[in-house]
Amino acid sequence: MNIVITGSSKGFGRAIAEKFSLPSNTIYLCARHEEALKTTVVELQQAFPNTIFKYKCADLSITEEAISFGKWVLSQSNTIDILINNAGQFVPGSIYNEPNGALEAMIRTNLYSAYHLSRTILPNMMEKKSGHIFNICSIAALQAYPNGGSYSISKYALLGFSKNLREELKPYGIKVTTVCPGAAYTDSWAASGVNPERIMQANDIAAMIYAASTLSPQAVVEDIIMRPQLGDL
């Protein structure tokens, strides 16, 4: 299979890449920071020598770069089986006091990146009448919470995008799954002081995405909602 994962140098993206690192798979990775992405690819290739890893650095919040990355992926393979839109940005704050430009920045990263990359790759999936798109949203797309501000707004928008896409792509045999994780231990939580055992692991989210990708063509998991066992923080 050919799998495309954005925001893949760390966190959920890297965990998902590890989960899909099977001998028969080719994985296309993308992230904004080239050195971090290169390091991740080297480490993945060492850990999974029978999987093919290809990568391209791009800032998917920039429309032209999102489209360019999609075209590059299509130039590498004539079939894309799975697209995982994981690129994202979190700027904390309330709507009334968050930094100027926070909404625009997070809409570009959390919504437009998925929109433009999906639009670039979709014609290939539609021609093949198969494929699976995962959009990594957040619990913040389901429930407003303190200090969520424009991040929550952008994730609500991504959830709406996913629901529309699901309806539009039914006739083409293309699945769309929305993933809404609560707190999981990634780099963004490392300095928070929260006990890692209180929240989920990035591998938990990766495992559910992988499981949803293995179902028969007749079945689709529309929404994956995951929270720490003890509830949200």
- Alpha carbon distances (Å) from 53 to 5, 56, 98, 144: 11, 10, 38, 37
* pLDDT at residue 114 in the model: 98
Q: Is-contact 113 60, C-beta < 8 A?
A: yes
What tens-digit pLDDT sequence spans the chain (233 residues)?
999 999 999 999 999 999 999 999 999 999 999 999 999 999 999 999 999 999 999 999 999 999 999 999 999 998 999 999 999 998 889 999 999 999 999 999 999 999 999 999 999 999 999 999 999 999 999 998 888 899 999 999 999 999 999 999 999 999 999 999 998 988 767 767 788 888 999 999 999 999 999 999 999 999 999 999 999 88
* pLDDT at residue 36 in the model: 94
Which residue segments constitute the domains of the chain, with CATH numbers given? Answer: 2-226 (3.40.50.720)
Angle between helices 113-128 and 63-76 (to 10 degrees): 30
The pair of structure tokens assigned to 192 is 């928070």
Q: Are strands 184-185 and 132-136 parallel, antiparallel or unpaired?
A: unpaired
* pLDDT at residue 125 in the model: 97
Q: Are strands 223-226 and 200-201 parallel, antiparallel or unpaired?
A: unpaired
The pair of structure tokens assigned to 45 is 């290739």
Of 101, 131, 110, the closest CA to residue 66 belongs to 110
* pLDDT at residue 37 in the model: 95
* pLDDT at residue 95 in the model: 93
Rounded CA-CA distance 63/51 in Å is: 30
Rounded CA-CA distance 173/191 in Å is: 43
* pLDDT at residue 200 in the model: 94
* pLDDT at residue 233 in the model: 81
